[in-house]
């Protein structure tokens, strides 16, 4: 069993709290993605696990053993650095062989050679073995770095944004390869990225990290359907979720969310108490761009918005709309040509909407529940 | 004057300036080289003639200064024998020894400062401060100390001083080379299972070898050409530059021919060293290590 457990780990650099009371449990042979914006503390998290950074507080356990104070080379953890850090003076073969030479007892030259070839074949870098890193393309270097991490049999592998330097096409290809690789390796893998598509497509579970704090840890489906807070909802999805500020209003004992042009009524029972607490301060409605419907798809909606910009992407089109001075993004099927400045009927599918409280925490995720009702028009004056 | 003539004039002036500079630069080397091959009648003419080139090429100056045969005397007078060979060997030992000492200590110090900020923020500067005064300023205390430690007039005593004097240069040169090597390369080696010393020897030093070669050449030239320290700290066991200075004879005063011959010999080691490490005197090894 080689699980990884972090217990209340904190790390501070001067005035920057890189990790703030992080507790995580990564299961045996899990593909675990850490997703977060730049500066979230992702690299610091990996460096703490492998032992290149010593936490100010908290413990790191690998396979049930407390390794908090032990040397990086003694943890049976492999890492692909964010900037690769290949040995520039050594050939690819020597780069791959270097970790094997440091092993004790040291494997024989023949054994080392065989292992290097095996890894090179796996990563399809066999023809490059005699080249130096300077003479490789970005994608090839990336593979060599992955190879150098994999060449020794470790229990846990850490990948720090391994695909970020690659162009889009190669990235998709490598993504599929990595997924395949992990299934064959049967190892615990912690994978850092700032690309939610990568995280969603690869991970068994995703951890969203921001400001050094764990925001949520759950499955890719769950994190999309039930984000723990506004930040997580905003991190997952592209273009990001539309966030519309609403007022919490009570009329004749009926609670509703009001906005200059729309009103959400029939709020589910469970949300009434938390929302009532937000009266006066307000809440946020989260509607994903794919839940914003336009034109004919909007049915007989009375809400109309002006088109600001249109970005056709091929399989879909992003349409920017103006809703009471705010930009709302809609993701629509292709085929209909929208023109800037035209006014279109707009409808929201509230079956996937979220309501966030004043502190950003999720108060309600519809997740298929169609009970929210959208009323269009200025709310009646009390 | 047309602008064309003006620009032509500027070109002429430039060529003249460069030529003048080259003459000033190269004339001493030319004169030493030719003089080394002149017979005594030409480097010490009695009739006031100037010999720009040797009329009568000879190796007698080399033969005399290295004491490898009979020169047939000078003007019929047999001179006292002269032998620079031991002094050249002493110069080599002290120069190389001092260089190695400075390289080993300085490289380790620079690595410690680069990776771990050893000694605090002001440490690199305080090391350089050791060179803010000329070594001769402290030569008298060193002379006393060396006499007490029985290091006076010894080659190893000299090597120690050379090492100490050039140590700050090594630290500063190597520091900039180490700072250029990304931190992650050393960390990768640690993760791969190297000890701390292993990281330095197996991952960092091979990357810094160009810097090391450049530094070694620079420091060796400094040590090899030292005159003033050797003059103060040796007596019988002179180094070659001191020996060169003292080549005189009763009959002619300064012996310019043998001096020039020895001077020419002293030019060789740095030249040979430079040729050997020439391919390392370029930069750019770290390219390709890091994704930008
Ligand atoms: N050695 C260090 N000294 C000072 N500050 C540091 C150090 N390492 C990291 N930090 C700071 O800690 C914070 C987290 O850094 P970290 O590298 O973990 O972020 P990240 O999530 O990996 O970001 P990115 O996506 O840009 O790689 C950042 O604000 C960074 O500036
Ligand atoms: Mg990072």
Complex ipTM:
0.81
Q: Is the pLDDT of residue B128 over 90?
A: no
Whether residue B264 lies inside any domain: the answer is no
Same structural domain for residues B63 and B208? no
Q: Is the pLDDT of residue A294 over 70?
A: yes
Strand partners, A208: A35, A216
pTM metric for this prediction: 0.82
Contacts of A365 (CB under 8 A, 6+ apart): A225, A226, A227, A353, A354, A355
**Which residues in B lie closer than 8 A to residue A89 (C-beta atoms)?**
206-207, 209, 285
Q: Is the pLDDT of residue B283 over 70?
A: no
Q: Is the CB of B290 less than 8 angstroms away from the CB of A85?
A: yes
Whether residue B257 lies inside any domain: the answer is no
Q: How many domains does chain B have?
A: 2
Using the 3D structure, point to which of B76, B99, B114 is the last residue of a domain. B76
Same structural domain for residues B107 and B227? yes
Same structural domain for residues B46 and B180? no
Same structural domain for residues B96 and B237? yes
Q: State the pLDDT at residue A39.
A: 92
Sheet of A354-356, strands arranged across = A362-365, A354-356, A283-287, A242-251, A254-258, A262-265, A373-376
The mean of the pLDDT values for chain A is 90
Neighbours of B34 (CB within 10 A): 17
Sorted by where each starts, the structural domains of chain A and their CATH numbers stand as 4-234 (3.40.50.300), 239-376 (2.40.50.140)
Which positions 179-208 of B are in contact with A (Cβ < 8 Å)? Answer: 182, 184-185, 187-194, 198, 202-203, 206-207
Q: State the pLDDT at residue B151.
A: 94
pLDDT digits (tens, 9 = 90+) for A65-104: 999 989 898 888 999 999 899 999 999 999 999 999 998 8
Whether residue B52 lies inside any domain: the answer is yes
pLDDT digits (tens, 9 = 90+) for A188-203: 999 999 899 999 999 9
Same structural domain for residues B133 and B171? yes
How many Cα atoms occupy the beta-carbon half-sphere of A269 within 13 Å?
0
pLDDT digits (tens, 9 = 90+) for A319-371: 999 998 899 999 998 888 888 999 989 999 999 999 998 888 998 898 888 88
Using the 3D structure, point to which of B76, B109, B135 is the last residue of a domain. B76
Q: Is the pLDDT of residue A381 over 70?
A: no
Whether residue B140 lies inside any domain: the answer is yes
Residues of the domain holding B44: 3-76
**Which residues in B lie closer than 8 A to residue A148 (C-beta atoms)?**
188, 192
Same structural domain for residues B133 and B179? yes
Q: Is the CB of A89 less than 8 angstroms away from the CB of B290?
A: no
| Nearest alpha carbon to residue B57 among B41, B45, B68, B80 | B41
Please report which confidence band the pLDDT of residue B284 belongs to, taking 50, 70 and 90 as the band edges.
Answer: very low
Using the 3D structure, point to which of B29, B53, B76 is the last residue of a domain. B76
Cis-peptide into B291, omega within 30 deg: no
**Closest CA in chain B for residue A97:** B192
Same structural domain for residues B68 and B90? no
pLDDT digits (tens, 9 = 90+) for A129-169: 999 999 998 888 988 999 999 999 998 999 999 888 777 88
Q: Find the A45 Cα to ligand 1 centroid distance in Å.
A: 10
pLDDT digits (tens, 9 = 90+) for B165-209: 999 999 999 998 999 898 999 999 999 999 989 999 999 999 988
A180 token code pair:
């395949």
Label residue A318 exposed, middle or buried (CB < 10 Å: 0-12, 13-18, 19+): middle
Same structural domain for residues B90 and B231? yes
pLDDT digits (tens, 9 = 90+) for B29-70: 999 999 999 998 888 888 888 888 888 898 889 988 888 876
Q: State the pLDDT at residue A48.
A: 96
């Amino acid at each position: 069993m080689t699980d990884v457990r972090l217990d209340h780990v904190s790390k501070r650099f001067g005035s920057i709290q890189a990790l703030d009371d992080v507790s995580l449990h990564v299961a045996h042979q899990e593909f675990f993605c850490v997703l977060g914006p730049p500066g979230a503390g992702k690299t610091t998290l990996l460096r703490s696990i492998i032992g290149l950074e010593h936490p100010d507080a908290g413990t790191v356990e690998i396979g049930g053993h407390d390794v908090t104070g032990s040397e990086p080379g003694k943890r049976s953890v492999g890492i692909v650095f964010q900037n690769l850090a290949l040995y520039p003076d050594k050939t690819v073969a020597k780069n791959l062989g270097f970790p094997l030479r440091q092993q004790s007892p040291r494997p024989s030259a023949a054994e080392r050679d065989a292992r290097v070839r095996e890894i090179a074949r796996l990563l399809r870098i066999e023809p490059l073995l005699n080249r130096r890193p300077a003479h490789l393309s970005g994608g090839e270097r990336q593979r060599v770095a992955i190879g150098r991490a994999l060449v020794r049999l470790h229990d846990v592998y850490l990948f720090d944004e391994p695909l970020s330097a690659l162009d889009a096409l190669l990235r998709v290809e490598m993504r599929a390869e990595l997924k395949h690789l992990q299934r064959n390796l049967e190892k615990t893998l912690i994978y850092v990225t700032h690309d939610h598509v990568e995280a969603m497509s690869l991970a068994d579970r995703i951890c969203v990290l921001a400001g050094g704090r764990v925001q949520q840890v759950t499955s890719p489906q769950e994190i999309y359907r039930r984000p723990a807070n506004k930040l997580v909802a905003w991190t997952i999805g592209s273009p990001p979720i539309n966030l519309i500020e609403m007022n919490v209003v009570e009329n004749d004992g009926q609670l509703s969310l009001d906005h200059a042009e729309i009103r959400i009524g029939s709020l589910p029972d469970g949300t009434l108490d938390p929302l009532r607490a937000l009266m006066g301060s307000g809440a946020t409605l989260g509607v994903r761009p794919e839940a914003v419907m336009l034109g004919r798809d909007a049915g007989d909606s009375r809400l109309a918005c002006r088109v600001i910009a249109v970005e056709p992407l091929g399989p879909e089109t992003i349409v920017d709309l103006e809703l009471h001075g705010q930009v709302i993004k809609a993701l629509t099927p292709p085929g209909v040509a929208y023109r800037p400045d035209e006014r279109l009927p707009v409808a929201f599918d509230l079956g996937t909407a979220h309501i966030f409280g004043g502190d950003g925490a999720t108060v309600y995720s519809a997740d298929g529940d169609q009970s929210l009702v959208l009323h269009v028009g200025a709310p009646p004056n009390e | 004057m047309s602008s064309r003539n003006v620009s032509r004039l500027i070109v002429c002036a430039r060529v003249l300036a460069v030529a003048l500079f080259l003459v000033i630069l190269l004339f001493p080397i030319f004169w030493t080289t030719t003089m080394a091959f002149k017979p005594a009648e030409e480097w010490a003419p009695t009739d006031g003639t100037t010999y720009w080139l040797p009329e009568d090429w000879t190796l007698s100056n080399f033969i005399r200064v290295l004491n490898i045969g009979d020169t047939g005397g000078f003007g019929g007078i047999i001179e006292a024998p002269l032998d620079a060979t031991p002094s050249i060997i002493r110069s080599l030992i002290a120069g190389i020894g001092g260089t190695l000492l400075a390289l080993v200590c300085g490289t380790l110090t620079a690595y410690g400062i680069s990776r771990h900020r050893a000694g605090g923020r002001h440490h690199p500067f305080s090391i350089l401060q050791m060179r803010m005064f000329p070594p001769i300023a402290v030569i008298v205390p060193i002379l006393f100390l060396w006499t007490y430690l029985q290091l006076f007039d010894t080659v190893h005593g000299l090597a120690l001083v050379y090492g100490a004097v050039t140590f700050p240069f090594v630290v500063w040169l190597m520091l900039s080379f180490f700072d250029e090597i990304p931190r992650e390369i050393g960390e990768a080696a640690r993760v791969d299972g190297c000890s701390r010393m292993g990281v330095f020897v197996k991952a960092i030093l091979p990357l810094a070898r160009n810097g090391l070669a450049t530094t070694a050449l620079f420091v060796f030239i400094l040590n090899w050409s030292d005159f003033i320290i050797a003059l103060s700290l040796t007596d019988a066991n002179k180094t070659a530059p001191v020996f060169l200075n003292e080549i005189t004879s009763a009959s002619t005063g300064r012996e310019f021919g043998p001096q020039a011959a020895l001077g020419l010999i002293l030019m060789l080691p740095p030249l040979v060293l430079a040729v050997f490490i020439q391919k390392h005197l370029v930069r750019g090894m770290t390219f390709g290590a890091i994704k930008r």
